[in-house]
Amino acid sequence: MSTDPGIWLAAILTLCIFSFLYKDNPFYKFVEHLSVGVSAGYWLVIIIRQSLKQTFLDPLIQGQWQLVPGKLGIFLLIFPAFMGILLFTRFSNKWAYIARYPIAMLWGIGVGASIPLSLQNYIIRQLQATMVPITFNSWEDVGSLFIAIGVITGLVYFYFSKEHKGAFGGAAKVGIWILMIGFGSTFGFTVMARVSLLIGRVIFLMKDWLGIIS
Protein backbone atom coordinates (compact mmCIF):
# COMPACT_ATOMS: atom_id res chain seq x y z
CA MET A 1 0.00 0.00 0.00
CA SER A 2 1.22 3.47 -0.91
CA THR A 3 2.73 5.76 1.73
CA ASP A 4 2.57 8.84 -0.50
CA PRO A 5 0.03 11.35 0.91
CA GLY A 6 -0.69 12.58 -2.62
CA ILE A 7 -1.71 9.08 -3.74
CA TRP A 8 -3.89 8.75 -0.65
CA LEU A 9 -5.58 12.07 -1.36
CA ALA A 10 -6.16 11.08 -4.99
CA ALA A 11 -7.56 7.69 -3.90
CA ILE A 12 -9.94 9.27 -1.38
CA LEU A 13 -11.19 11.76 -3.99
CA THR A 14 -11.65 8.88 -6.44
CA LEU A 15 -13.71 6.91 -3.92
CA CYS A 16 -15.79 10.01 -3.09
CA ILE A 17 -16.80 10.23 -6.75
CA PHE A 18 -17.49 6.51 -7.04
CA SER A 19 -19.81 6.88 -4.01
CA PHE A 20 -22.25 8.59 -6.40
CA LEU A 21 -22.96 5.16 -7.88
CA TYR A 22 -24.81 4.26 -4.70
CA LYS A 23 -26.60 7.60 -4.49
CA ASP A 24 -25.95 11.33 -4.50
CA ASN A 25 -24.23 12.35 -1.26
CA PRO A 26 -22.32 15.25 0.35
CA PHE A 27 -18.91 13.64 -0.31
CA TYR A 28 -19.61 13.56 -4.03
CA LYS A 29 -20.97 17.12 -3.97
CA PHE A 30 -17.87 18.34 -2.12
CA VAL A 31 -15.53 16.80 -4.68
CA GLU A 32 -17.68 18.03 -7.56
CA HIS A 33 -17.42 21.64 -6.34
CA LEU A 34 -13.73 21.22 -5.56
CA SER A 35 -13.23 20.05 -9.12
CA VAL A 36 -14.95 23.13 -10.57
CA GLY A 37 -12.87 25.48 -8.43
CA VAL A 38 -9.53 23.80 -9.05
CA SER A 39 -10.21 23.54 -12.79
CA ALA A 40 -11.17 27.22 -13.06
CA GLY A 41 -8.07 28.22 -11.07
CA TYR A 42 -5.91 26.08 -13.32
CA TRP A 43 -7.52 27.62 -16.42
CA LEU A 44 -6.81 31.11 -15.16
CA VAL A 45 -3.13 30.35 -14.54
CA ILE A 46 -2.58 28.68 -17.89
CA ILE A 47 -4.38 31.25 -20.02
CA ILE A 48 -2.57 34.12 -18.33
CA ARG A 49 0.91 32.61 -18.07
CA GLN A 50 0.88 30.47 -21.19
CA SER A 51 -1.15 32.60 -23.56
CA LEU A 52 -1.69 36.23 -22.57
CA LYS A 53 1.90 36.64 -21.40
CA GLN A 54 3.53 35.18 -24.49
CA THR A 55 1.26 36.43 -27.24
CA PHE A 56 0.48 39.86 -25.78
CA LEU A 57 2.37 41.00 -22.67
CA ASP A 58 5.91 39.98 -23.69
CA PRO A 59 5.88 41.71 -27.11
CA LEU A 60 4.21 44.73 -25.53
CA ILE A 61 6.93 45.03 -22.85
CA GLN A 62 9.65 44.50 -25.45
CA GLY A 63 7.98 47.17 -27.60
CA GLN A 64 8.16 44.98 -30.70
CA TRP A 65 5.74 42.58 -32.29
CA GLN A 66 7.42 40.01 -34.51
CA LEU A 67 4.54 39.94 -36.99
CA VAL A 68 4.34 43.68 -37.71
CA PRO A 69 7.41 45.71 -36.72
CA GLY A 70 7.29 49.29 -35.46
CA LYS A 71 4.66 51.40 -33.76
CA LEU A 72 1.94 50.10 -36.07
CA GLY A 73 2.67 46.62 -34.75
CA ILE A 74 2.20 47.76 -31.15
CA PHE A 75 -1.09 49.43 -32.09
CA LEU A 76 -2.24 46.26 -33.85
CA LEU A 77 -1.28 44.30 -30.75
CA ILE A 78 -3.10 46.58 -28.30
CA PHE A 79 -6.25 46.72 -30.43
CA PRO A 80 -7.44 43.10 -29.80
CA ALA A 81 -6.66 43.49 -26.09
CA PHE A 82 -8.81 46.63 -26.06
CA MET A 83 -11.56 44.67 -27.81
CA GLY A 84 -11.11 41.86 -25.27
CA ILE A 85 -11.50 44.32 -22.38
CA LEU A 86 -14.75 45.55 -23.97
CA LEU A 87 -16.17 42.08 -23.26
CA PHE A 88 -16.31 42.99 -19.58
CA THR A 89 -19.00 45.60 -20.28
CA ARG A 90 -21.38 42.63 -20.14
CA PHE A 91 -21.39 43.10 -16.38
CA SER A 92 -23.05 46.52 -16.76
CA ASN A 93 -26.72 46.70 -17.75
CA LYS A 94 -26.21 50.07 -19.41
CA TRP A 95 -23.09 49.27 -21.44
CA ALA A 96 -23.60 45.55 -22.08
CA TYR A 97 -24.24 46.14 -25.80
CA ILE A 98 -20.60 47.21 -26.27
CA ALA A 99 -19.54 43.60 -25.63
CA ARG A 100 -21.17 42.79 -28.96
CA TYR A 101 -18.32 44.48 -30.85
CA PRO A 102 -15.59 42.00 -29.88
CA ILE A 103 -18.07 39.12 -30.15
CA ALA A 104 -18.98 40.31 -33.66
CA MET A 105 -15.30 40.40 -34.51
CA LEU A 106 -14.73 36.86 -33.23
CA TRP A 107 -17.73 35.62 -35.22
CA GLY A 108 -16.71 37.50 -38.34
CA ILE A 109 -13.16 36.17 -38.35
CA GLY A 110 -14.33 32.65 -37.49
CA VAL A 111 -17.05 32.59 -40.10
CA GLY A 112 -14.88 34.12 -42.83
CA ALA A 113 -12.05 31.69 -42.24
CA SER A 114 -14.33 28.67 -42.19
CA ILE A 115 -16.83 29.14 -45.07
CA PRO A 116 -14.59 28.12 -48.01
CA LEU A 117 -12.80 25.39 -46.05
CA SER A 118 -16.05 23.94 -44.65
CA LEU A 119 -17.49 23.65 -48.13
CA GLN A 120 -14.28 22.10 -49.39
CA ASN A 121 -13.89 19.66 -46.50
CA TYR A 122 -17.45 18.61 -45.74
CA ILE A 123 -18.91 18.73 -49.22
CA ILE A 124 -16.41 18.71 -52.09
CA ARG A 125 -13.85 16.31 -50.61
CA GLN A 126 -16.58 13.96 -49.42
CA LEU A 127 -18.29 14.01 -52.82
CA GLN A 128 -14.95 13.33 -54.51
CA ALA A 129 -14.35 10.37 -52.21
CA THR A 130 -17.84 9.01 -52.92
CA MET A 131 -17.69 9.43 -56.70
CA VAL A 132 -14.92 6.94 -57.39
CA PRO A 133 -14.76 4.69 -60.47
CA ILE A 134 -16.14 1.25 -59.72
CA THR A 135 -14.62 -1.56 -61.80
CA PHE A 136 -15.54 -4.57 -59.65
CA ASN A 137 -11.93 -5.73 -59.71
CA SER A 138 -11.70 -5.98 -55.93
CA TRP A 139 -13.81 -6.11 -52.78
CA GLU A 140 -12.86 -2.45 -52.13
CA ASP A 141 -14.82 -1.55 -55.27
CA VAL A 142 -17.90 -3.30 -53.89
CA GLY A 143 -17.34 -1.36 -50.67
CA SER A 144 -17.12 1.90 -52.61
CA LEU A 145 -20.39 1.12 -54.35
CA PHE A 146 -21.94 0.35 -50.98
CA ILE A 147 -20.68 3.68 -49.60
CA ALA A 148 -22.12 5.55 -52.61
CA ILE A 149 -25.53 3.88 -52.15
CA GLY A 150 -25.35 4.48 -48.39
CA VAL A 151 -24.53 8.18 -48.77
CA ILE A 152 -27.32 8.74 -51.32
CA THR A 153 -29.96 6.89 -49.30
CA GLY A 154 -28.74 8.54 -46.10
CA LEU A 155 -29.17 11.96 -47.68
CA VAL A 156 -32.59 10.93 -48.99
CA TYR A 157 -33.64 10.08 -45.42
CA PHE A 158 -32.65 13.60 -44.30
CA TYR A 159 -34.64 15.21 -47.12
CA PHE A 160 -37.96 16.11 -45.55
CA SER A 161 -39.36 18.39 -48.29
CA LYS A 162 -40.81 15.36 -50.07
CA GLU A 163 -42.99 12.73 -48.43
CA HIS A 164 -41.18 9.43 -47.82
CA LYS A 165 -43.39 7.28 -50.06
CA GLY A 166 -42.86 4.89 -52.99
CA ALA A 167 -39.30 4.53 -54.34
CA PHE A 168 -38.25 7.63 -52.43
CA GLY A 169 -39.63 6.12 -49.22
CA GLY A 170 -37.82 2.85 -49.98
CA ALA A 171 -34.54 4.70 -50.41
CA ALA A 172 -35.16 6.59 -47.16
CA LYS A 173 -35.78 3.23 -45.43
CA VAL A 174 -32.45 1.87 -46.65
CA GLY A 175 -30.93 5.18 -45.54
CA ILE A 176 -32.18 4.80 -41.97
CA TRP A 177 -30.80 1.22 -41.84
CA ILE A 178 -27.40 2.50 -42.91
CA LEU A 179 -27.60 5.33 -40.38
CA MET A 180 -28.50 2.82 -37.65
CA ILE A 181 -25.40 0.77 -38.44
CA GLY A 182 -23.41 4.00 -38.11
CA PHE A 183 -25.01 4.83 -34.76
CA GLY A 184 -24.59 1.23 -33.56
CA SER A 185 -20.89 1.36 -34.41
CA THR A 186 -20.59 4.64 -32.53
CA PHE A 187 -22.33 3.09 -29.52
CA GLY A 188 -19.98 0.10 -29.59
CA PHE A 189 -16.99 2.44 -29.66
CA THR A 190 -18.51 4.56 -26.88
CA VAL A 191 -18.85 1.54 -24.59
CA MET A 192 -15.22 0.77 -25.34
CA ALA A 193 -14.11 4.31 -24.49
CA ARG A 194 -15.96 4.49 -21.20
CA VAL A 195 -14.76 1.07 -20.07
CA SER A 196 -11.18 2.12 -20.88
CA LEU A 197 -11.52 5.12 -18.58
CA LEU A 198 -12.85 2.92 -15.77
CA ILE A 199 -9.95 0.51 -16.28
CA GLY A 200 -7.57 3.46 -15.85
CA ARG A 201 -9.06 4.38 -12.47
CA VAL A 202 -9.23 0.81 -11.22
CA ILE A 203 -5.59 0.28 -12.18
CA PHE A 204 -4.74 3.43 -10.21
CA LEU A 205 -6.56 2.15 -7.13
CA MET A 206 -5.20 -1.40 -7.32
CA LYS A 207 -1.65 -0.60 -8.42
CA ASP A 208 -0.66 2.89 -7.24
CA TRP A 209 -2.72 3.01 -4.05
CA LEU A 210 -3.27 -0.52 -2.76
CA GLY A 211 -0.27 -2.12 -4.47
CA ILE A 212 -2.22 -5.33 -5.09
CA ILE A 213 -1.02 -5.66 -8.68
CA SER A 214 2.39 -4.90 -10.11
Partner 1 sequence: MGIFEKIIKLDRRIIFLVIFLSVIFPLIFKVNIPINITPEVRNVYNLIENLPEGSVIVVPCEYAPDTMAELEPMLYAVLRHCWEKNLRVVACGFYVTGVTLIEQEIKYMAKQMNKKYGKDYIFLGYRPYPAAVINSMGEDFRQSFPTDYYGTPLDSLPMMRGVKNFNDTKLVLTINATSGVDYWVLFGHERYGFPLAIGVTAVMAADYYHYLNSGQIVGIIGGLKGAAEYESLVHHKGLATMGMSIQSFVHLVIVLFIIIGNIAYFVIRKRKGINR
Partner 2 sequence: MKRELPIAITFICAFILTLQYFIPHRSFEIMYEISNIWIQIIGVFAMILGIISLIMLHWEKIKHKKENWGFSIVTLASLVGMSLVGLIASENSPVFEWLYNFILAPISATMFALLAFFIASAAYRAFRARTVVATILLLAAVIVMLGRVPIGSLISFGIFPKMAEILVNYPNVAAKRAIFMGVGLGAAATALKVMLGIERSYMGSD
Binding mask 153-172 for partner 2 (x = CB under 8 A): xxx-xx--------------
| Residues in binding contact with partner 1, number by CB under 8 A | 50
Residues from 22 through 81 that contact partner 2 (CB under 8 A): 29-52, 55-56, 67-68, 76-77, 79-81
Q: Judged by CB, which is closer to partner 2: 38, or 210?
A: 38
Q: Should residue 147 be labelled a site residue for partner 1 when binding is judged by CB under 8 A?
A: yes
Q: Should residue 95 be labelled a site residue for partner 2 when binding is judged by CB under 8 A?
A: no
3-state SS record for the chain: CCCCHHHHHHHHHHHHHHHHHCCCCHHHHHHHHHHHHHHHHHHHHHHHHHHHHHHHHHHHHHCCCCCCCHHHHHHHHHHHHHHHHHHHHHHCCCCHHHHHHHHHHHHHHHHHHHHHHHHHHHHHHHHHHHCCCCCCCCHHHHHHHHHHHHHHHHHHHCCCCCCCCHHHHHHHHHHHHHHHHHHHHHHHHHHHHHHHHHHHHHHHHHHHHCCCCC
Residues of this chain that interact with partner 1 (CB under 8 A) are: 21-22, 39, 42-43, 46-47, 50-51, 54-55, 58-59, 66-67, 109-110, 113-114, 117-118, 120-121, 125-126, 128-129, 147, 182, 185-186, 188-203, 206, 212-213
